Amino acid sequence: MLKHNQEELNIPLDHISKGLHLVITPEGNSRCFTIAESIAEEWHESPYQLLEGNSYEYELVGNDEYILDCSYKGIIIQSNRHAQRGRICPNIFVGKLCVLVKSVTDNTTQGKIDLEILATKFDSKLDHSYRANYRQMLEDITEKCTDILMQINAPIQQTFTINFDLSSKTIYQRFSFINSIINTSDFENAVLQIIKNPATKWLNVTEEINVQKVKRINRSVVKQLSSGNNRMTTNNPRLAQFVNQGIPQKISVNQKVEHVNTAENRFIKHVLEDFLQFCTSCKDLFAKRNYAFAAEEADALARRLGIYLSQPFFQNISRPQTLKLNSPILQKRSGYRELLNRWLQFDLAAQLIWTGGDDIYDAGKKDIATLYEYWLFFVLYDLVKEKFNYRYQTDEKNPYGHLIRATDQGLNLTLKSGRHIVIKGVTDRFPRKLAYRFSYNRSFKGGNTYSHTTAGSWTTTLRPDYTLSLWPATFTEDDAEKEDAIVHIHFDAKYKVDNFKSEFIFDNNNDLENIDQETAEQLDRQKEDEKRGTYKNIDLLKMHAYNDAIRRTGGAYILYPGENKQLFQGFHEIIPGLGAFAVHPSKTHSGIAEVGLFLDKVIENLLDRTSQRERISNSSHHILSENTKDYIASDFGYPADFDRMKVDPSSTKVLVAFYKPEQWEWIKKYSLINIRTGESIRDTVPLEHFEYILLHTNGELETSKLYKLKQDGPKIWSKEQLLKKKYPFQPSRDFYLVFAFEEVSYSEFKGLSFDIRKLKGYKPYRNSSSPFVATLKELIESVV
């Protein structure tokens, strides 16, 4: 247990100089602690405990000949005015921080102090957050890696060996894998359960006993009573009835004895001895190479294993001659089953190296932020496999090449920050067959305009931590990008975020003039933080950058080890959107289920061909696919109502129709224009919604006769109906399309004359009387 919050730590340094001590004082709301020596030794920690993300002042008191330093830049910040004073700023460093005490005169190291920097993001119980969650992530990653290796079906047939000639960091990395699967409460409980309730067997044992203790008379006993040596007389009538010349003093009897020296228990002892031998070898190697912290860690684990093996239970168990791994007891019985699994993992983990773990497996330092990013990869990796029924691509030589590759030093886990890893496939789980691609560290190249039909960013190159891309399986991925049929969902691991709601500022009040005082003060502080470079909202703004810059993005979300979930939808649907999910290591509820439910809703949205997102995507695709030229602002002033009514001149349709001069009086009187069916317009009218009509006649290439069509659309009239309306000609067709129109109400259109020759649909000479379609934008551009 952590002790109560202390105002400061006072650390004696008499081993360096008598009377010298280090005083550490928390700044602001920072905290520091001490823990008992026994607890520190048990967990292999320093008793002096600080918190990540906090800041502290320090001072060396008692001697001016010494200063502080450490191997990690930016953590120890020495005062410019006083060499013995300064600040300790761990930021996201987690683990044992070795602080060096150096001489002022020659800068040589005179001694060291170990400070423990605790993780704070996962749990309100700081010791639990630091110990259990960090170890849980390591254990989860090791389990995922060994599960993948188990499916290769090779290491089970191999004998456990490890090359101790490799670098200390590589050996420590492998030791950390082993440590994460052995040094756990589950492992300890399994061992104790075996000791308390072991698998036993009954043996027939022959032994000599005093004849007076015979309880059961059988043929063998009678025979020995009559013929045995070293005889004596007896007054026992039960025995005397069998012989007249005395009875032997002792006889041999067979008894069933419960025995623990079984094949399964011999295997358990072999497992513990294997683990102990490995830890002892690691300890000796680390000590030889002056890798002090790693040597202490290996020694602590070796001592724990030694305690298990020193139990009386193991004293009468011999070494195994064979390993019967198919034993039902090993495979099914509680305790035995767990240790068998750990032994198989041990054999595999001892062969595994991880170049990407260099930042994590630096003895003493626990790079928990990077570890959290890697751990999230495996969590999301499993989620994607579950949602889409992912199956590994068949490749007999290397079926898991996307994650595990053979090297000269062993099997290398290829997961590394900055390295692109992808799994993809097609699923038919849903009514709409979907293709998917899950990427880690996928880069979206910058400077990607709409004319580029590949994935990319409008602006600079961006690289989200994780990207899930979904598109209809009827397209290839390239075609889906080209046709705007793909959706990218981005996730970023943000270990530094504590609490999404309190870290970020949101104001849902539409009346910005009436925001409350607290929000106003938050915004002021945000502005000051931005000036100082400590702007917390930068993480959320990065999600905005993904959403706005990466083409065809459906959402961008933060994953952080907190307690709250917050989502912000772009319209009324699940995507596009922004937000955050709290995901943390846990045996029971990690929070990844919330992400799974979110993906279910995303998939439902993609299956709906009438969703807002799909309709907007289709419309924008048609608009952006148009050939464009440099835009020049028109001098024409469109009606102000167009802004409120969302009128788009480039999509507002105008019907350009021809009339004979003799018709004009009739057209003006009834505000009607008839068009013969059977001409080209018959195919256009049902598909177009016309807002205006422009009329012209013989030799009238420039006309000002622009009218507003009535919204009830064209009517089909027979020639009899036209004649009843006193039509000036004898109709030559049986049916006509008749449009009703009215005067244009906008003054901006009155008095304008349009050159129909400038319209794209105009055909000269004999075809000039054929009706055609233009846009309002084209009309304005043809103004004389």
Among 243-257, 502-516, 639-653, 671-685, which is the least confidently predicted range?
502-516
Among 50-59, 463-472, 730-739, which is the least confidently predicted range?
730-739
* First CA to last CA distance, the chain: 88
The string of pLDDT tens digits covering residues 70-87 is: 888 889 999 999 999 999
Tell me which range, 346-350, 383-387, 452-456, is most confidently predicted by mean pLDDT.
Answer: 383-387
Strand locations in 345-475, DSSP E?
Answer: 352-353, 404-407, 410-413, 421-427, 434-440, 466-472
Q: What would the CATH number be for the domain defined by 9-118?
A: 2.60.40
Given pLDDT bands bounded at 50, 70 and 90, which one contains residue 524? low
Q: Is 546's pLDDT higher than 70?
A: yes
Given pLDDT bands bounded at 50, 70 and 90, which one contains residue 237? low
The string of pLDDT tens digits covering residues 688-715 is: 688 999 999 998 999 999 999 987 778 8
According to CATH, the topology of domain 641-781 is ph1033 like fold (3.10.590)
Q: What confidence score (pLDDT) does residue 490 get?
A: 94
Q: Do 21 and 68 form a contact (C-beta atoms < 8 A)?
A: no
The string of pLDDT tens digits covering residues 738-760 is: 999 999 988 888 889 999 999 98
**Cα–Cα dist 81/592, whole Å:** 50
Q: What confidence score (pLDDT) does residue 130 get?
A: 64
Amino acid at position 699, single letter: G
The DSSP code for 588 is S
The string of pLDDT tens digits covering residues 91-105 is: 878 888 889 999 999
**Cα–Cα dist 747/412, whole Å:** 76
Among 50-59, 156-165, 567-576, 577-586, which is the least confidently predicted range?
156-165
Given pLDDT bands bounded at 50, 70 and 90, which one contains residue 53? confident
Q: What is the DSSP string of 36-67?
A: -HHHHHHTT--SEEEETT--EEEEEES-TTEE
Residue with the larger pLDDT of the pair 546 and 522: 546
Q: What confidence score (pLDDT) does residue 722 get?
A: 92
Given pLDDT bands bounded at 50, 70 and 90, which one contains residue 229? low
Q: What confidence score (pLDDT) does residue 640 get?
A: 80
**Cα–Cα dist 734/738, whole Å:** 13
* Mean pLDDT in residue range 569-587: 78
> Which residue has tokens 């039960």?
238
* Mean pLDDT in residue range 444-466: 82
The string of pLDDT tens digits covering residues 320-335 is: 777 777 788 888 899 9
**Cα–Cα dist 329/145, whole Å:** 26
Q: Is 673's pLDDT higher than 90?
A: yes
The string of pLDDT tens digits covering residues 11-48 is: 999 999 999 999 999 998 899 989 998 888 877 788 99
The contacts found for 291-294 with CB under 8 angstroms, 24 or more apart, are: 291/168, 291/172, 291/363, 293/96, 293/98, 293/363, 293/364, 294/168, 294/172, 294/175, 294/363
Q: What confidence score (pLDDT) does residue 68 get?
A: 94
The string of pLDDT tens digits covering residues 126-139 is: 666 667 777 778 77
Q: What confidence score (pLDDT) does residue 189 get?
A: 92
* Mean pLDDT in residue range 207-232: 69
How does the average pLDDT of the chain come out, rounded?
80
Q: Is 63's pLDDT higher than 60?
A: yes
Is the pTM of the predicted complex or chain greater than 0.85?
Answer: no
Residue with the larger pLDDT of the pair 577 and 121: 577
Question: Would you kindly state where each structural domain of the chain is located, as residue ranges?
Answer: 9-118, 201-259, 419-620, 641-781
Q: Which residues contact 61 (CB under 8 A, 6 or more apart)?
A: 20, 21, 22, 23, 84
**Cα–Cα dist 375/354, whole Å:** 14
Q: What confidence score (pLDDT) does residue 55 get?
A: 94
Q: Do 413 and 445 form a contact (C-beta atoms < 8 A)?
A: no
Q: What confidence score (pLDDT) does residue 27 get?
A: 93
The DSSP code for 166 is S
Q: What confidence score (pLDDT) does residue 676 get?
A: 80
Q: What confidence score (pLDDT) does residue 249 get?
A: 66
**Cα–Cα dist 356/420, whole Å:** 12
